[in-house]
Amino acid sequence: MAVHDMTRVNGSAPLLEVRKLRVSLESGKTVIDGVDLTIGRREVVALVGESGSGKSVTALALSRLLPAALRMTSGSIRFDGQDIVAKSDAELNRLRGAEISMLFQQPQVMLDPTSRVQAQVAEPLRKHRGLGRRQAFARVVDLLRSVGIPDPAVRARAFSYQLSGGMAQRVMIAAAMAAGPKLLIADEPTTALDVTVQAQILRLLKEERERHDLSILLITHDLSIVSAFADRMAVMYAGRILEEGPTQEIMRRPAHPYTRALIRCSLLVPESDGKLMSIPGSGSQALAIKEGCRFAPRCTLMREYPGLRTACCSREPELEQFAQHWACRCHATAEGLQEGDVA
Ligand SMILES: Nc1ncnc2c1ncn2[C@@H]1O[C@H](COP(=O)(O)OP(=O)(O)OP(=O)(O)O)[C@@H](O)[C@H]1O
């Protein structure tokens, strides 16, 4: 049996390697339960899944920015040869913004309305690159120009409340890119924007990746964005990754019934009964399941193939390899794939 281990991506050592990450609430309740995640250099990896599945907590854990109520209880995080878990607060402070940057959903909320654009974009330049006021201003204007902001010297002196949502997100990207990070974690970066602006921002992120050899972890609910933008995707459910691999392969041949349901929901095409597809039940109770697959209570295969019940409900299925991607095997077994079809 192939073991889920991606120590190399496209033949080279990955930029980020997360192994068996666990995060719990102070009460002891586990919210991230053994996540493995690998991001190669210049690779875009999308993390998808329902609300509450643990995407944002995973992203925050990567640069050790968990809120006080949550703590990492085990696992390893290696970034560019560095052990993130062993780093001191001062070392993490130097890393964040310089080597790992973050981009969030609501740019107008994230920007300080009382401070000028130039101050906010210059902050990482002054902190991590030691630039003086004048040099930093010139660099800010260059950065604003590079993210497509017209009249950058004028906009640099504006306050962020004077910017549209799309412009504000461009400013956030300029600030995130200012110190030349290797990894950008983008948590729903286009969700608050209208669709035409969404496309512009995604195009800009693609350009940034090309220009700066950037790797991106993209968190999104939107599978059309994943399909257009991500090299690989990881599907998260109740604190675990259920399926992971090259985006186009998973979109064409999803193995896990949860992934299949997500893809069908995203198509917004009515089912045979005329209703739009939805996944019955909710994932909110799934973390409480101690044995077996967390998706089992909502799984259509479980109803169609009662023979699966013993296997799926008695132990958490391990991910196994199908062609180039990973998911649990019992679903393939249920669908009658022959031994030879499973790598
Ligand atoms: N500050 C916090 N305090 C307590 N629990 C939290 C906190 N932040 C997240 N959680 C819990 O951790 C789990 C994962 O939340 P997370 O925000 O990572 O989900 P998500 O997949 O990013 O959802 P969404 O798509 O809605 O942002 C949820 O059960 C959530 O309630």
Measured by CA distance, the residue closest to atom 18 of ligand 1 is 54
**CA 264 – ligand 1 centroid, Å:** 24
52 close to ligand 1 (CB < 6 Angstrom): yes
- The pLDDT of residue 131: 83
Tokens of 139: 């660099």
The interface predicted TM-score (ipTM) is 0.97
Q: Which amino acid is at 64?
A: R
DSSP 148-171: T-SSHHHHHTSBGGGS-HHHHHHH
- At residue 159, φ and ψ (nearest 5 deg) are -90, 150
Domains belonging to the chain, first-starting first, are 16-236 (3.40.50.300), 253-341 (no CATH)
Is the CB of 51 within 6 Å of ligand 1?
yes
- Cα angle, residue 53 at apex, residues 251 and 289 outer, rounded to 5°: 110
* 239 Cβ below 6 A of ligand 1: no
pLDDT exceeds 80 at position 335: no
Alpha helices in the chain (DSSP H): 55-62, 89-95, 107-110, 117-129, 133-146, 152-156, 165-177, 195-212, 223-229, 247-252, 257-267, 300-304, 308-314, 330-334
Q: Is residue 241 in contact with ligand 1, taking CB distance under 6 Å?
A: no
Model pLDDT, residue 112: 86
Which pTM was predicted? 0.88
**By the 8 A CB rule, do 147 and 172 touch?**
no
Q: Is pLDDT of 200 > 90?
A: no
Q: To test ligand 1's pocket by mutation, which of 26, 51, 53, 57 has the most ligand atoms within 8 angstroms of CB?
A: 57
For residue 49 and ligand 1, the question of a CB distance below 6 A is answered with yes
User: Does residue 308 surpass a pLDDT of 80?
Assistant: no
Residue 69 CB less than 6 A away from ligand 1: yes
Pairing mode of beta strands 325-328, 240-246: antiparallel
Atom 30, ligand 1: which residue's CA is nearest? 52
How do residues 244-277 score in pLDDT, each as one tens digit?
Answer: 999 999 999 888 888 988 888 877 665 666 665 6
Quote the radius of gyration of the chain (alpha carbons, Å). Answer: 21
Q: Find out whether 247 and 227 touch, Cβ atoms under 8 Å.
A: yes
Residue 1 pLDDT grade (very low, low, confident, very high; cuts 50, 70, 90): very low
Q: Which atom of ligand 1 is found nearest the CA of 221?
A: 25
d(CA 250, CA 233): 8
| Residue 71 Cα to ligand 1 middle (Å) | 13
CB of 284 closer than 6 angstroms to any ligand 1 atom: no
DSSP lists the bridge partners of residue 37 as 18
Q: Is 53 in the pocket of ligand 1 (CB under 6 A)?
A: yes
**How far is 218 from 315, CA to CA, in rounded Å?**
30
